[in-house]
Amino acid sequence: MASNKLRVAILGASGYTGAELVRLLSRHPQVAIVALTADRQAGKPAAEVFPQLVLQELPTLTKIDDVDWSGVDFVFCCLPHGLTQEVIAKLPRHLKIVDLSADFRLSDVDAYATWYGHAHHAPDLQKEAVYGLTEIKREAVRTARLVANPGCYPTAAQLPLIPLLEKKLIDAGDIIIDAKSGVTGAGRDAKQGSLYSEVTEGIHAYGVASHRHAPEIEQGLAEAAGKPILVNFTPHLMPMSRGILATIYVKMAPGVTADQLRAALTERYRKEYFVRVLPNGAAPATRHVRGSNFVLMSVHADRVPNRAIIMAVEDNLVKGASGQAVQNMNVMAGFPEETALEQLPLFP
């Protein structure tokens, strides 16, 4: 591999977000994947763990402890929460890192402790971490060493709501986020609740009023609103591998119309490659972003006066995880932001 490429390691590479990073990065002209770790699968050739990537020449999977960090420039960390803090704390300081876990997303370590059930293991690193919602935090990401990649639901919920809160177009105290997610959001671990026959042909809510992505969403919205916010966030599990649809119910500020909300979002994202606001009357479908880093949004007037309905769709494994991680890497490394992410959605 050419010495002028960014040398990338992916930790915890055998899950869905790891495989998705490999898929995306293998098309990146300025990146070389030099290490893949997966402790339980160490020693296996990548082709065995990722049969869908059979054509790529990839390094054999190793244990984290066996990585030679001197040959690595950049790390994507796809490890479970808690463990992540310990691993990242031990990494050499020359590495830039995008962490896909929840470990560095909450700036308040006490909030972390409350929602994740244990004290934060690396509070100093937390202070250094930048929350990587790229379109909102681009400048901070550009100079960051450690980026906390946003959660899948928080990405879909914050992108449409933050501009509206910043402009005080909606009531910060009356936000309902009804979210529908594909199953890969639950990861690749074998769990009965993720079995085909437990998921196909049905839908149910889970984590009602108690999902860990709620405080992450509220953190971002509070910053935009300039005051604390509590939101209703109700996630649902549905039979699709990829995709999130957030249907968001808001009350508009006095005199504001749905058309104004749409115009504000259109203006805010006019120059963004990955975010598109649909014209009046169109509702976004998750299948229209599958496999891509795009976010589609829409705004609809409600028959109920002063209320509007906002929708946003993304692929939870791309813009909701590995795609946004690559987008952040591009920003951190000074590459064109859309590199390796230009792929169009796969429909049907």
Taking CB under 8 A as the criterion, which residues in 184-223 touch a copy of itself? 184, 188-192, 194-206, 208-210, 214
Min dist. Cβ of residue 173 to a copy of itself (A): 8
Taking the CA atoms of residue 259, residue 265, residue 271 and residue 274 in that order, the dihedral angle to the nearest 10 degrees is: -120
Residue 152 known to be catalytic: yes
Q: State both tokens at 254.
A: 């006095």
- Pairwise CA distance, residues 117 & 186, whole Å: 19
Min dist. Cβ of residue 115 to a copy of itself (A): 12
**Of residues 21-50, those binding a copy of itself (CB under 8 A):** 23, 26-27
**Of residues 125-184, those binding a copy of itself (CB under 8 A):** 176, 178, 180, 182-184
Nearest to 131 by CA among 147, 117, 143, 144: 147
Cβ distance 335 to 30 under 8 Å? Answer: yes
Sign of CA dihedral 144, 150, 156, 159: negative
**Of residues 236-255, those binding a copy of itself (CB under 8 A):** 236, 238-243, 245, 247, 249
Q: State both tokens at 218.
A: 């509220």
Cβ-based nearer residue to a copy of itself, 38 or 97: 38
Nearest to 249 by CA among 180, 208, 307: 307
Cβ-based nearer residue to a copy of itself, 89 or 208: 208
Cβ-based nearer residue to a copy of itself, 85 or 234: 234
- Pairwise CA distance, residues 32 & 21, whole Å: 12
Min dist. Cβ of residue 81 to a copy of itself (A): 20
Cβ distance 101 to 152 under 8 Å? Answer: no
Stretch touching a copy of itself by CB under 8 A, among 28-36, 114-122, 160-168, 338-346:
338-346
Return the number of other C-beta atoms located less than 10 Å from residue 292's C-beta: 21
How many chain residues are in contact with a copy of itself, going by CB under 8 A? 85
One-letter amino acid for residue 83 of the chain: L
Q: State both tokens at 75.
A: 């790390």
Cβ distance 316 to 181 under 8 Å? Answer: yes
Cβ-based nearer residue to a copy of itself, 83 or 301: 301
307 part of the interface to a copy of itself, by CB under 8 A: yes
Site track 58-87 with a copy of itself (rule: CB under 8 A), x = hit = ------------------------------
Cβ-based nearer residue to a copy of itself, 85 or 330: 330
**Of residues 257-286, those binding a copy of itself (CB under 8 A):** 273, 276, 278, 282-286
Query: H or E element: which one contains 332?
Result: helix 323-333
Nearby residues of 253 by Cβ (< 8 Å), 6 or more positions away: 168, 169, 170, 171
Min dist. Cβ of residue 305 to a copy of itself (A): 8
Return the number of other C-beta atoms located less than 10 Å from residue 305's C-beta: 8
Min dist. Cβ of residue 215 to a copy of itself (A): 10
Min dist. Cβ of residue 172 to a copy of itself (A): 12
Chosen residue from 39, 73, 223, 302 binding a copy of itself by CB under 8 A = 302
291 part of the interface to a copy of itself, by CB under 8 A: yes
- Pairwise CA distance, residues 48 & 54, whole Å: 8
One-letter amino acid for residue 160 of the chain: P
Cβ-based nearer residue to a copy of itself, 48 or 139: 48
- The burial class, CB within 10 Å (0-12 / 13-18 / 19+), for 109 is middle
Min dist. Cβ of residue 69 to a copy of itself (A): 27
5 part of the interface to a copy of itself, by CB under 8 A: no
Cβ distance 49 to 42 under 8 Å? Answer: no
From 33, 91, 129, 152, active-site residue: 152
Cβ-based nearer residue to a copy of itself, 73 or 178: 178
Nearest to 85 by CA among 69, 99, 73, 71: 99
Chosen residue from 91, 311, 312, 321 binding a copy of itself by CB under 8 A = 311
- Active-site residues, by number, are 152
